[in-house]
Amino acid sequence: MTLFFKRLKRVYLQLTTLILIILLACSCKKQESQKSSIDFEISPDSLEVLFPNEISSHLTQRDFALSPDRNEVIYTLGNQKETKRVLVSMMRKNGIWGKKTMLPFCGSYQDIEPSFSPNGSHLFFASTRPIYGDSTRTDYNIWVSEKENNIWKEPVALDSTINSKGQEYFPSVTNSGNIYFTATKPDGLGSEDIYVSEFKNETYQNPKVLDSCINSKYYEFNAHVNPDDNLIIYSSYGRPDGFGGGDLYYSTKDSKGNWKPAKNFGTPINSSKLDFCPFFDEKTGTLYFSSLRTNYPKTINSVEEFITLSEQPTNGLSSIYRIKLNLNSL
């Protein structure tokens, strides 16, 4: 009996060791999968939805921004009717992207359209939170949060040179501190226009509407401008060369520093639905943008199929897409 129990003990130890090895291997594979499932260093040649079920879902995802150090992603998450929208952050540590978290100052108001400063120390965004001590204000204005000890601090509104009692959206800041944004103002060229405010002597100057190379009598909005201030990508709705729902356009500057006439990106970037909220990652040459396009077949054969299709990220209210851009062709 003693020999039997010794053998049994030996088998037990061997099985325990084998189980531990299997669990460790599974854990390593899971970590490798987690590490490789989200990768912003890849720039796809064809259009793809951004990480289905990791970022993209059947809810609203839009307004993508990648930090300059490439260790944080922030985007807007909204419910089905977009009656509630918050800013969601994902952080990378030791090469692994962590879970989604809501920024600490979000949850009470409509917070949308995040944009990092070129050095990554500040986050600009649009919000309906009360401004300048006026609790009756519910218009969108531009706010900024500073990062301290790796935490985004309570945001502060930009001054009234930028924020009016109208609507101000989609900030984009350059190396010089100039800020581009969307607004509707009496001096505009159309229904919505893109403005720029120069940052001089630590002060924002009166905003100026961009000329007819960028703006038109239609709608222009959601302008992403690169840090060097020589590439602008934005949306426009209503133009004769549009595809129907609002398209992405781009422009670069000439040798005199003036914007050239904007051009439509065409397909596959633009669709018959609204394509908007661009972000360009210069390191990888990747264009990220939001789109309301869907992917339903012409015919649906059952309730089950309809529900399954409707729960896919590409059939949500808005999803984030990405594709490689060849800057030399612009």
Q: How open is the CA angle 283-288-292, to the nearest 5 degrees?
A: 175
The amino acid at 34: Q
Q: What pTM value is reported for the model?
A: 0.87
**What does the pLDDT profile of the chain (330 residues) look like in tens digits?**
555 555 555 655 565 555 555 555 555 454 444 444 799 999 999 999 999 989 998 899 999 999 999 999 999 999 988 899 999 999 999 989 999 999 999 999 999 999 999 999 999 999 999 999 999 999 999 999 999 999 999 999 999 999 999 999 999 999 999 999 999 999 999 999 999 999 999 999 999 999 999 999 999 999 999 999 999 999 999 999 999 899 999 999 999 999 999 999 999 999 999 999 999 999 999 999 999 998 899 999 999 999 999 888 888 789 999 999 987 766
**Which domains, from first to last, does the chain contain?**
58-291+317-329 (2.120.10.30)
* Cα 286 to Cα 320: distance, rounded to the nearest angstrom: 12
* Cα 278 to Cα 291: distance, rounded to the nearest angstrom: 10
* Cα 91 to Cα 86: distance, rounded to the nearest angstrom: 16
B/e letters for 115-138, b = 16+ CB within 10 Å, e = fewer, are bbbeeeebbbbbbbbebeeeeebe
* Residue at token pair 């869907």: 294
Bridge partners (DSSP) of residue 250 are 233, 263
Structural contact between residues 30 and 80, judged by C-beta atoms closer than 8 angstroms: no
* Residue at token pair 């084998």: 18
* CB proximity list for 222: less than 8 A, separation 6 or greater: 113, 169, 170, 182, 234, 235, 276, 277, 278
Structural contact between residues 169 and 140, judged by C-beta atoms closer than 8 angstroms: yes
* Cα 283 to Cα 70: distance, rounded to the nearest angstrom: 10
* Cα 195 to Cα 185: distance, rounded to the nearest angstrom: 10
Q: Give the 3-state secondary structure of residue 52.
A: strand
